[in-house]
Amino acid sequence: PTSPASTDAAPREFRTWTNDTGLFKIEAQFGGIQDGKVKLIKKDKSTTLVPLEKLSEADRELANSLDADRSPFEEVGNDPAMETDNRPSPGKPNEPTSEPEEGGNTFKPIPGTSSTPVDLTDVDWSEFETLSTELFPVSEFQVEPDTGTPAKINDTPRPYLFGGRSGIRSGKSVPLKNGENPKWVRIDPTTNQALVGMVFSRGLTTPPEVRVVRINLKDGKSTVEMFPSALVPCDYHPGTQQYLFMAQSNLHPREEPWQIFGLWKQTKAKFEPVKAWSRLNLLTNEKDDRGPQSIEFAGENHAVLSWDRGAVRVWDMAQNKALYDIKRGFNAGPAAVSSNGKYLALINDKNEAVVFDLPAGEIIGKLPFKNMETLAFHPKGQYLAAASPQRVVIYDLQAGVVHRDMFLGKSLNTNRWNRDLVWLGDGYLLSGNEHLFDIERSTVLWHYDIPSWGIDPLVGTFHEGQYWYALKSRDGTEAGLFHVEMPHKAARDIASTIDPNKLVLQPGTRLKLVVNVAGTPEQQATIRDALTREVETKGMVVDDSSVMTLTAATATGRTTSQTYQFYGRIPDQTVTATEQIASLKISDGAKTVWETQSIVGGYAPFMISLQEGQSAQDYVNSLSKPDYTFFDRVEIPGRLGVIPEAGAYGFSKLTHNGIEEAAPPQQAPQGPGTGLSF
């Protein structure tokens, strides 16, 4: 049901717009109708495009009425009485500009680099729209599969050494510098080459030195090309043999910062500039913005730029145009792009996984689960994997349904700097370059250790059954590119002995429910009711005679202290803050098979503001209350595979000799369900 819309509304008035289900609402201005979509402008100036048919009947009528009455010269959202247009105007880095060459293009050198001129386009980045996903409901959806066949490489298994005493296979010796490390690996099957990006960091105030090692996989010969100073290659496109690069100034407080990104072409003899776009810092309007954390190709004509501050922007390289902007979750990993560049998936600011038609900037669907951190498209486009520290979901994009929903017994600490999620063929995922997950058997199959003298995190990529990775020698003078079959034979042999139908939890499992919560009887009853509903939603049964137990509990954790100084107004006060822990645990007798927890409090803010009669301890206590809502919002596993107490069925290490046996990590958490680190 929806409330009648007022036909007296003006386009510049903020009002509540409702979708056709009545469940999703947004407060915004009307911005017009174009191509069957209603443009809604929120108070933060971000823009949402909603298909007209998705609005309630009353709001559809209002939108049509407002659009018919609207002057074609009226720009909603730019009313001088309401706001000022403080967008930065396009500008140019303070560098000399040469005369335009034939064709009208302006060529100039990139600041901080060699004098090689490049087609540098100054762009006003303030024109793109911010897409919102608020009015789009969770729904089943489908995408078109990628019917292309990956190109194969002509290769005989071997290591490829470069640098140091081994020199370059072509005979040119380029010793590694102290602190020079491999940063990325790419396989180019179209030219039968492997590429390794080597970066030598020279401190915060000096641009890094970048070299690209190109290895011929047929004869093993290698060449090294030096990128111009201040340019850092971020991605490589095998089809066009072009690099996406980023360059930026030293961000001294007295300097006006600038960033540039663009394309660099690889030829047989050298690297050549293609085009570049300036004023990258205007995307966030932040003077201290150090640019995006990642830039990657999405097909030949688009680039996806991701900011650590939570924004993702899509750039059309052919049209020199920013298409749109999406807000990303603060703790989310990088956005995922399908192998054909057609689809974009990310975790939005509501912790929802959303899939977009990348070139069109249209939402295709929203996945029916939350609080994931890392996404990865299957190479053929059939599946999208979503992972968090304690859960992996495989969504079938062609069928529009969840293919597999897998929980882990215990959460590991999330390494936010190494949350790579890589598909290994159809049935396996590699997380963080360490943990091999078997999708069919819902288990952590193997753990790969990274040698302490190698690169941490490991730099690698997967192509046609082979995992390619770069390592340095113990003394740091040599590096090499190595590749192994993954999953390797020992892992596949173990997998063949595991019954995929043997699960710790599954629909029909009977659970005894125990509530050990320090709360009132009413709170305890509310928690029991919420957990009973959750158990039944998963197709399981509450049975007080079962040995399998679901236990809800509260406890206190560590305590810290802090002294606040009030500089004579009132006496100084020392307070203590204690963690309040709410936990859920599933046990099979004395053996814990799954657990999760929420910790609040345990800290005292650096500064506080007290009300009349309130003590500092009262204020801190208000921040350290048990989180009873945790038991209402938590999701328990409906399907849980068997995972050994050591955390995996086998352990190996990746070395210059390939895969070698290894002992379980000394700090591997004990208990079933451990082993994945997203």
Q: Tens digits of per-residue pLDDT, 406-419?
A: 887 766 544 443 46
Q: Residue 672 above 60 pLDDT?
A: no
∠ at Cα 115 (113, 117), nearest 5°?
Answer: 105
List Cα–Cα distances, 264 to 93, 106, 117, 272, 625, in angstroms: 20, 17, 12, 6, 55
In 3D space, the residue among 537, 540, 560 whose CA is nearest the CA of residue 549 turns out to be 540
CA 399 – CA 374 distance, rounded (Å): 22
pLDDT in the model for residue 298: 93
- pLDDT given at position 494: 94
Instruction: Name the CATH topology of 1-81.
Output: SH3 type barrels. (2.30.30)
Structure tokens belonging to residue 402: 């969840």
Segment 112-134 shows an average pLDDT of: 52
Name the strands in the sheet holding 374-377, side by side, starting at the edge strand that comes first in the sequence. 374-377, 383-388, 391-396, 401-407
Question: In percent, how much of the chain has pLDDT > 70?
Answer: 69
Peptide bond before residue 500 is cis, with ω within 30 degrees of 0: no
Residue ranges matching CATH 2.30.30.700 in the chain: 1-81
pLDDT at 11: 56
Residue 526's CB is within 10 A of a number of other CB atoms, namely 17
**What does the pLDDT read at residue 136?**
57
User: Given this model, what pLDDT does residue 156 score?
Assistant: 53
Q: What's the chain's average pLDDT? A: 75
Judge contact between 428 and 440, C-beta under 8 A: no
User: pLDDT tens digits for 594-642?
Assistant: 988 889 988 888 888 888 888 989 988 888 888 899 999 888 998 888 8
Query: What pLDDT sits at residue 320?
Result: 81
- Of the pLDDT bands very low, low, confident and very high (cuts 50, 70, 90), residue 384 is very high
Q: Do 83 and 220 contact (CB within 8 A), yes or no? A: no
pLDDT single digits (tens) 165-198: 443 333 344 566 777 788 888 888 888 888 888 8
- The pLDDT of residue 527 is 95
- Is the model's pLDDT at 516 over the cut of 90? yes
Both tokens assigned to 634: 């938590």
Count of alpha carbons within 13 angstroms of residue 205, beta-carbon side = 3
Residue 375, pLDDT score = 92
Sheet holding 459-463, edge to edge: 160-162, 479-485, 466-472, 459-463
621 contact partners, CB below 8 Å, separation of at least 6: none
